[in-house]
Structure 1
Amino acid sequence: MGKFENDAKALLEAIGGKENVSAVTHCATRMRFVLGDPAKADVKSIETIPSVKGTFTNAGQFQVIIGNDVPVFYNDFTAVSGIEGVSKEAAKSAAKSHQNPIQRVMTMLAEIFTPIIPAIIVGGLILGFRNVLEGVQMEWLGQKVVDGVKQVTSSGQPVYNTIVDVSQFWSGVNSFLWLPGEAIFHYLPVGIVWSVSRKMGTSQILGIVLGICLISPNQLLNAYNVASTSHAEIMKDWVWDFGYFQIQKIGYQAQVIPALLAGLALSYLEIFWRKRIPEVVSMIFVPFLSLIPALILAHTVLGPIGWTIGQWISTIVLAGLTGSFKWLFGAIFGALYAPLVITGLHHMTNAIDTQLIADAGGTALWPMIALSNIAQGSAVLSYYWMNRRDEREAQIALPAAISAYLGVTEPALFGVNVKYVYPFVAGMIGSGIAGLLSTTFNVTANAIGIGGLPGILSIQAKYMGIFALLMLVAIVVPFALTMIFRKMGLFTKAEDETVKSPQVEAIAEAQEAAQVEKGTIVEVVSPLTGQARALSTAVDPVFAQGVMGSGLVIDPSEGELLAPVEGVVSVLFPTKHAIGLVTDQGLEMLMHIGMDTVNLDGQHFTAHVKQGDRVRVGQSLISFDIEAIKAAGFPTETPVIVTNQNDFQLDIPENLPMDVKAGQALLSTSKI
């Protein structure tokens, strides 16, 4: 029996059975359902299942939060339900209807990289640690000596030892850690092509085989060695010679675009042949007719296109660093380096750095790369800080931030920043500003080092002070912008449920600050003028049944909502039809003007406060047009409820219904 088999059976029953599930898939922490009738899902029953941590509906999908064990849960669920066949495509179609083209591309990248995030995180930490061991030259370890000769650079600067130079133990550790490091990063195309096949619902083993064919260490020239290998040598030793034509044996280690294109070509070919080849012989012909053409395309068209794009970028970089508008180039390159990492084309900068070091004794390009890594790390650190109470998000964000600060940004980019967009944009802006300043002040590195916080050790001594200030820019600007973008809703994806978390944080912070004794009384005045009724008479059963909390409902006769308590605005809906407050004593209140008025999209509502504002009793919160709302077909009854009724006991008037005036005493609550 599977680990979650019983929970999976309970979930299947609670969502309305197999016949109610049109599709099911999963992401890093959640099961994602497309339900025939969402109303059949029994949310209360679902949330009592031991392995379920919560539920919500977003972008046409009913999502059940499981946590890090979601892949295991998904396997058990598909085993007991037998509905795995079309789940991926159906879920994909549901999501697409709520996304623009840019969001679709970003979502595709995120979904492809989500299954391999754990490996990328581990690889990033390993590579960052290895960079410290072998990449940082330290003066206090002494000058490096080879065959009795002290080593110097081409400009006469001394070359100092690294940790691996002076310690056999750490040299052995460094060598051993390259085993998983190489497997994760050099062989990354294998994971990418496998993940593409998995996402497309095609044969995953064919994806693995094609991925290996892109990086074969025995038959292909390693991608890292292409820049240092002459064309004549490539044409002599690294080609398949078919007599009439030749194909270069070029590997695509750590390359993303060739792997993505090859994986998509393989998947679409397999889908194409599945529809046209009889099932009786499909096992023979479909794999062959899919794999071989995809492999040919990868080594003749898709791969060379990737290298061509890389060469164009290299030429632009070199011209930018030596031209009259290097400050502009610094801003552009600083901002766009992170997108280059996504494509895998950032490896082309190594050849430029090497040439600059040989010609000028240093490189002005590498400092910008280090600053870009720091900026993306700061963006994901800000995301972690805003979601630090969300265990499922924190488990991905914090290791990704550490990895980025050590110079490897893939975990940050694919795990958080690209997925949610606004941290990615914040990081690009921060690194663009830092890049502009770096080229303006001619900051130069002695050599390629660690592309993160320890990178200052590789900067030429006379620029270390300036670089320290630029690092501060790359830390502070993206961190602040990430928070600002989310609070303002800029660059945030519609399906990003974490965008709402500042509301949760405001409440949580108020709860932490509220250290009041049991029995503490908080008086609540009426926020409206009108008739107060029992909450059970509300039109909406969610309120009437007390699902949202305890309280009462008021039929307003005047369109002015006032603050019933002194406190902080913890949530103000964009549509201005509902507002939440939290007092210094920890009392949480919600006032929801009308029923289904969210559909008015803010029409006939005017907010006088914003989220985070402190308000006094009787202060105007929202004005609304009662007659216009009723004319639009919506009732204006307004629930006034305490949402944390487990912490506060309510004393509700017994003589309901009754007329009330805004500002008069209405409820009395006491701390339990």
Structure 2
Amino acid sequence: MTTTDPRATAAALLPLVGGAANVSSVAHCMTRLRLGLRDRALVRDAEVRALPAVLGVVEDEATGTYQIVLGPGTVARVAPAFETLVDAEGLAARGEAIRAGQRARNATPGKLLLRRIAAVFVPLIPALIGCGIIAGLTGLLVNLGRLPGLTPALTATASGFMALIAVFVGINTAREFGGTPVLGGAVAAVVVFPGVAKVEVFGQQLSPGQGGVLGALAAAALAAYIEKWCRRHVPEALDVLLTPTLTVLVAGLATLYGLMYAAGAVSTAIGTAADRLLAGGGAVAGAVLGGLFLPLVMLGLHQALIPIHATLIEQQGYTVLLPILAMAGAGQVGAAAAVYVRLRQDTALRRTIRSALPAGLLGVGEPLIYGVSLPLGRPFATACVGGAFGGAFVGLFGMLGGTVGATAIGPSGWALFPLLDGGGGLTGTTVAVYAGGLLTGYVTGFAATYLFGLRGITGTGGAGEDARPDTALSPGPPPAPGS
């Protein structure tokens, strides 16, 4: 470290005075950096005095400040750098506190169940993405009339996984709910077995695949429960024979004579509701979905949408909900860009935005949410406004016939382009509508944040356009999710 580098001096001083959490105020005079400390015992005096830039240390009992003598000129450069570090760490700490609070609030039985259901589908996302991109490429080739000899092979490659997705859901469900994975897969395989067409339930013939992933999920969860019951009650000498037999038999019959029928009705209702939502709701439905998705993420309720997406993809080949929900990420990107432009003097926050923005453009919004918008408070709300306008744009065109769907779960932002499908594969109209929605979300999120989201906020340590109160080193608490 050299004495001429104010940032290095500030970075060296901060941990020696107990870190950002121990600093309650920062000021300076002609020669001294004056710090208000919450706990004087956390200061490592000897190490502070040993720093090359430090000329001495003074205790001012009258004002209760800890004063580090740096000398004229030096202190004027070190003090702003030190304050930037203090507030940047404070902002990061607030983001981590928000995450910790959300984890605690999400530990309810209902939300834990949603997390377990999400854990069933998340491992399937790579296959969904790969097969989805191949399906999109196949649709594009068919539309263009190219490579007719290859497209049947591509169709088989893309469709094989989806034809057996119920089995994979069963394997993951059994693993997640404490059963033997292969038994979960065996029971879930009943759902897609062609022979179920010979089974009659409530006067109707079952059809292969009826109930889809929801039926497989329910069947494998039941199998895991039956297996665990058998492990407790079946004699050890007979366990290897009776437990798997009873598990597959009881769960399999329950699947055929109840779960497939019930799950099929639910799956059909989901598909019908999604179609009617966009056909009748249009821009309003899109605005509600796009605007509320970030609060849903904060509440942990977005995980309930994963099996709905999977059901729509299985039924229709794509989910019409994901492109609309992806607009929330566009609003978040626009809001972050506005923060970057407005708070020009806040180098620490701008550095955070620069590092997180590429991920945000590709649909990974957590770094921007927890590192920027939520700790600052109001920009989180204006990001939701951007998501609402982007969702309204996509929803409006959906009502007018420009359906935009996604053939896989997971990616959003720019990463969703290769997975778009509007019923006729990847078309120019589908791409244009989705791109228009993203642009609308970016622009609206930026404008709302620039004009309304940063009043009274000067960032984490810079001298912005508005005066920051001297009594606070960090912004106030963020609004409650959804407010």
- Normalised by the length of structure 2, the TM-score is 0.49
Query: Higher helix fraction: Structure 1 or Structure 2?
Result: 2
Greater RCO between the two (CA within 8 Å, min separation 6)? 2
The higher radius of gyration belongs to: 1
Q: Is the strand fraction higher in 1 or 2?
A: 1
TM-score, with length taken from structure 1: 0.37
